[in-house]
A and B are shown apart, each in its own frame.
Chain A
């Protein structure tokens, strides 16, 4: 019995080397942010529509202009996200934090994310948090697709030795 418990503890320690509390607490805050906006406005807010709605300020393409009615609050939502993370950093982080992931990975990845989230109707927040929370079959399919492909891609990138 104790041996089984020890194995389980060892497995968990290996799967979650940094514990789970900050992940779970952070996730609750992410959900709470979406919940607050939904309770007040009835809008399930996702993060990636901001990319297209903001382009409507500078482009007359119909694809972007359709988001004109929501573009202002989406800017406010995004500014709030940046500010909220800054509050976290001021309270818990030692100075600024910068990534070591190479710039070309961020840039090329960013382009694919911009295309994919908009063609695929949502990202990790729109499909992953709002859609899964709504028990939407489109979002379950979306999440399963991008999660599996992302895992495969990240493993492949690591296997061919691209670090960081």
Chain B
């Protein structure tokens, strides 16, 4: 993930195409509409299960399948492999805070960007909120890491 990767002329175009497909899928699945997400969380329409698990099955097959074919990614030379996040209390605390926000609003980061694409300008309120929240935690954690506490906050 170093800046060197971006030197391949196809790196950014490929990322853009991937984003296009990803955003199209969020639009097509109606996940870009907070009302649809809320109707799932309120058990009125469980269809969203197919979005998340459908997507996870495709990525799962890709992640594991590609290693049978080649070792490293053509545009970056990075070795294909699992970069697993460590399981600690932050995963649960953060997941819980995210869950309250998701359940209150019906939006999540990817779906909120896609929502903008379908013309949902009121979602900007939510996106501004997300940046504010990201800044609040970053400010808090950066200042904590800079003080006497050991720098274990980085993940």
Picked from B12, B105, B118, the residue with its CB within 8 Å of the CB of A72 is B12
Q: B41 and A151: CB pair below 8 A?
A: yes
Which residues of chain A are within 8 angstroms of B33 by Cβ–Cβ distance?
97, 99
Whether A8 is near chain B, meaning CB under 8 Å from some CB there, is no
Q: A133 and B60: CB pair below 8 A?
A: yes
- Residues facing B in A71-124 (CB within 8 A) are 72-73, 76-89, 92-93, 95-101, 103, 105-124
Q: Which residue numbers of A lie inside 8 Å of B, CB to CB?
A: 15-20, 22-45, 47-48, 50-52, 54-55, 59, 61-64, 66, 69-70, 72-73, 76-89, 92-93, 95-101, 103, 105-125, 127-139, 141-158, 164
Known: A107-B125, A121-B85. 14 other contacts (CB 8 A): A29-B22, A34-B18, A36-B21, A47-B113, A59-B138, A61-B139, A76-B12, A78-B113, A81-B19, A107-B128, A110-B105, A110-B125, A129-B52, A154-B103
> How far is A131 from B49 in the complex, measured between Cα atoms in Å?
16
| Number of inter-chain CB pairs below 8 Å | 544
Picked from B12, B101, B138, the residue with its CB within 8 Å of the CB of A61 is B138
Picked from B18, B54, B130, B142, the residue with its CB within 8 Å of the CB of A23 is B54
**A103–chain B nearest beta-carbon distance, Å:** 5
Q: Which residue numbers of B lie inside 8 Å of A, CB to CB?
A: 1-3, 5-6, 10-12, 14-35, 38, 41-60, 62-63, 66, 72-76, 78-87, 90-123, 125-139, 141-142, 145-146, 154-155
Picked from A23, A41, A48, the residue with its CB within 8 Å of the CB of B73 is A41
Which residues of chain A are within 8 angstroms of B45 by Cβ–Cβ distance?
15-18
